[in-house]
Amino acid sequence: MKKEELYRMYDFTGQTAVITGGGGVLGGEMAVTLAWMGANVAILDRCATLNEQITTAAAGAPGQLTLIHSDVLDTHVLQESADEVERAFGKVDILINAAGGNHPSATTTAEKSFFDLPTDALKFVFDLNLLGTILPCQVFGRQMAETKSGAILNISSMNAFRPLTRIPAYSAAKAGVSNFTQWLAVHMAQEYSPAIRVNAIAPGFLLGEQNRFLLTDAQTGELTPRGRTILTHTPMNRFGNPDDLLGAVLWLLSPAAAFVTGVVIPIDGGFAAFSGV
């Protein structure tokens, strides 16, 4: 392969990308990166305005970046968002499902056992992570079925491979995301077009606002026992950063991964490979 052809594989100029939850840290990093690679990016989020850090990082990028107020748990709202994206940029080529997260009330503690986790908190985590992935795939996947091409990237988690203590709903929901990714990859390739690819990444331990209360002490900033245990079992001995995900993201979305569908790629600093001994 010529070097020029390789460069073109990672040129997303003229493509339209939709990123749910793109106002967050991970989704925002992906949105900015794709804009700098030439894509026109529609961020679907419930926030009213974009984080200043995202807009500053995207300033001057060759691709356009816009925020569309949406709700990944409402098919009607998602369809309205899809219509707005099409008016602005045309048909969708890329869908990244970055909306997701845990909830403190769905997490066991010394004071709150598994048996006492409230149903509404468990349902919130299941819906946000699993339904919040499936419903956007229905709406934007329909467009891809019509155009016979596209790339969908879901965000799973290392919890899908090895369920972690204290977060039963999140682990189970992300396992569902991995399973659904494989199912949808087969369905789209067999029923509509083998040029529609569906994959996922499974980030390891990234220190963010949603898990900070589990991994660091709020008063001192020092690692909690759980945080120390994680690093002990991570051969690279650090937490991940959002930009650690970008290489795999760009590869899975690009023509360089044209024969890759139905995979879940761990990005975890070696956590899954380490037996603990």
**Pair 192, 229 in one domain:** no
116 is a domain residue: yes
Q: What would the pLDDT profile of 126-153 be if each residue is shown by its tens digit?
A: 999 999 999 999 999 999 999 999 999 9
Q: Tell me which residues are annotated as active site.
A: 170
Confidence band, pLDDT 50/70/90 cuts, at residue 49: confident
Q: Is residue 29 situated within a structural domain?
A: yes
Q: Give a yes or no: residue 273 inside a domain.
A: no
Q: Are residues 177 and 226 in the same domain?
A: no
Asked if 49 and 63 sit in the same domain, the reply is yes
Residue 274 lies in a domain: no
Do 155 and 59 fall within a single domain?
A: yes
SS (H, E, C) the chain: CCHHHHHHHCCCCCCEEEEECCCCHHHHHHHHHHHHCCCEEEEEECCCCCCHHHHHHHCCCCCCEEEEECCCCCHHHHHHHHHHHHHHHCCCCEEEECCCCCCHHHCCCCCCCHHHCCHHHHHHHHHHHHHHHHHHHHHHHHHHHHHCCEEEEEECCHHHCCCCCCCHHHHHHHHHHHHHHHHHHHHHHHHCCCCEEEEEEEECCECCCCCHHHHECCCCCCECHHHHHHHHCCCCCCCECHHHHHHHHHHHHCHHHCCCCCCEEEECCCHHHCCCC
The answer on 14 and 64 residing in a single domain is yes
- Do residues 129 and 182 share a domain? yes
Q: Which residue range(s) make up the domain with 227?
A: 211-239
Do 64 and 132 fall into the same domain? yes
User: How many domains does one find in the chain?
Assistant: 2
Same domain (yes/no): 37, 107: yes
The whole-number pLDDT of residue 240 equals 92
Which CATH number do you get for residue 51?
A: 3.40.50.720
Asked if the structure places residue 103 within a domain, the reply is yes
Predicted confidence band of residue 211 (pLDDT cuts 50, 70, 90):
low
Higher-pLDDT residue of 165, 114: 114
194 and 218 part of one domain: no
87 and 100 inside one domain: yes
Mean pLDDT of the chain: 94
User: Would you say residue 160 lies in a domain?
Assistant: yes
